[in-house]
Chain A
Amino acid sequence: MQPTLFSSNHLTVSQLTFHIRKQLEGDPILQDVWVEGEISNLSRPNSGHIYFTLKDKNASLRCMMWKLDAARLRVNLQDGMAVEAHGKITVYEPQGSYQLAVNIIQPKGEGALYQEFLRLKAMLESEGLFDVERKRPVPELPHKIGIITSQTGAALRDMLNTLRRRLPLVQVILAPSPVQGVDAPPALVNALQSLNKQNPDVILLARGGGSIEDLWAFNDERVVRAVADSKTPIICGVGHETDFTLCDFAADLRAPTPTAAAELATQTTIDDLHDLLSTLYTRLFSSTVNLFAEQKAVLSALIARLRYASPERGIRADAQHLDELSRRALSALTHRIQLNAATVDGISKRLQSLNPEGILSRGYAIITRKEDGAVVSKVSQARGEMKVRVSDGEFEVKK
């Protein structure tokens, strides 16, 4: 077609651009479209909007993302990244250019993976694999802890450091396994089965953070079923706080990270055990002190009664002989009881020499009644004025 040289029907640039804009922005296909390509020329100016170009072998498409949409991004965009972007085509009139205004962007393939995740989750859920009733409690004080993770990852180091800090008494058995790639699912299943044979008290199934594809082995049906089948309780700590895998749902306990898994496995720490031991030592000490104090009081009373009883009363015949006999008996008995008292005294002294300062300096106190010096270890024994002994002295209290 030949151009008309002197047409009176010409348009201004603005008019033409407006017309093009109406065409593009009025097309429903172009207003709700998914595009697949590779990111290049990524730019993030201070405005908070993001600009980049999507390209494939033969074409490129200018893209921009408004600040509000950019703030919702879950992935860290980078040049060269293959992505799927959703948005609408808009026209920027000052430059006569069109662009894709992107509102959703995700790594390529993620959409399909997510659909598969939802399908599998619904299926296993309907089988009851994730039922709350299936969850077993994890032991408070484990003796043997199994770990399934990569032998070389930071996750293992984090978990071992956490266990070492919190409860170094435990024995750890590691079942190394690749945690990503096609080999990972069968290796994880194998590790779960082998480790179960070692009868650990709890198993930590863990992996550090990564993309949804990196974590995919923990959504593998075989692995999820093996987790549900484990006779040992399992704590699953895969990825970061925001990552949920199907293994998380099948495990007895879900931890947000590998470190958190190790913490959940050691609810009783070595500090708790130190405290428990101190308490037991105090109870051992005071119960024995009390016991000997009671015995001593009984003996003292017996000695007093023997001294003041009149053995002559009721003696009629052979008074002198009986008198002699009873004097001897009294003397022998008194002697024996005094010996016994001496033994008890000795034992009491020994007990007192087992100086409880060590315990006192940790904040415990020994409370004794002022009236008879008895140690108060129960509420029922507290009465009258009492002495409270602490590490550097004592003070009095009154009930």
Chain B
Amino acid sequence: MAKTSAKKLEKPVEELSYEEALTELEGIVGTLEDEQNPLEESMKLFERGQALVARCSVLLEAAQLKVQKLAGESVVAFEEESE
């Protein structure tokens, strides 16, 4: 478990999608709650967790519906009519 989380640490939070960040955060909270980890490892997990919370929060606040449309087999931007 500690090993897998160490592996995940390699990816900067800024590059994570909401789903990825949330999944990792849930894993970290679970680890901190259920497992005996070395202090240092726990501290790292906590800091990573904090960064993930911030990342999720930013993504939720900034979320804007992305609308595209199919043109034949390709996907292109869709301009909505103004109301």
B4 within 8 A of partner (CB): no
- A window 130-187: CB within 8 A of B: 143, 151-152, 157, 160, 163-164, 168-176
Give the interface segment out of A238-246, A280-288, A317-325: A280-288
* Contact flags B61-83 to A (C-beta < 8 A → 1, else 0): 00111111110110100101101
| A292 to B43 Cα, complex, angstroms | 9
- How many residue pairs link A and B with beta carbons under 8 A? The number is 93
- Provide the main secondary structure of the chain B interface: helix
Task: Provide the main secondary structure of the chain A interface.
Answer: helix
Any A CB within 8 A of the CB of B53: yes
Interface string of A340-356 (1 = CB under 8 A from B): 00001001000100100
A197 at the interface (CB under 8 A from B): yes
Q: Are B65 and A173 in contact (CB-based, < 8 A)?
A: no
B19 proximal to A (CB < 8 A): yes
| A-side interface size class | 35 or more
From B19, B70, B80, give the contact of A160 (CB < 8 A).
Answer: B80
A270 to B18 alpha-carbon distance, docked (Å) = 12
- The residues of B that contact A163 with a CB separation of less than 8 Å are 65
| A310–chain B nearest beta-carbon distance, Å | 30
Measured between beta carbons, the chain A residues less than 8 angstroms from B50 are: 284, 354
Does chain B have a CB within 8 A of A78?
no
Q: How many residues of B contact A (CB 8 A)?
A: 35
Q: Are B70 and A277 neighbours in the complex by a CB distance under 8 Å? A: no
Q: Is A326 an interface residue (CB 8 A)?
A: no
Q: Are B28 and A284 in contact (CB under 8 A)?
A: yes
How many Å from the CB of B81 to the closest CB on chain A?
7
CB-based contact A172/B60 at 8 Å:
no
B29 within 8 A of A: yes
Question: Who on chain B is nearest to A175 by CB?
Answer: B70
Q: Are B57 and A277 in contact (CB under 8 A)?
A: yes
B55 CB to nearest A CB, Å: 10
Per the bound structure, the CA–CA distance linking A377 and B32 in Å amounts to: 13
> Which residues on the A side are within 8 Å of B66 (C-beta)?
170-172
Please state if A273 and B60 are interface contacts (CB–CB under 8 Å): yes
Cross-chain contact of A284 among B32, B57, B63 (Cβ < 8 A): B32
Contact A143 B19 (CB under 8 A): yes
Residues in chain A within 8 A of chain B (CB atoms):
143, 151-152, 157, 160, 163-164, 168-176, 191, 194-195, 197-198, 270, 273-274, 276-277, 280-281, 283-284, 287-288, 291-292, 295, 344, 347, 351, 354, 377
Task: List 19 interface pairs A-B (beta carbons < 8 Å), by A numbering.
Answer: A152-B81, A157-B80, A163-B65, A168-B64, A171-B66, A173-B70, A174-B67, A174-B69, A194-B73, A197-B73, A270-B60, A280-B29, A284-B25, A284-B28, A284-B32, A287-B29, A288-B32, A291-B32, A354-B50
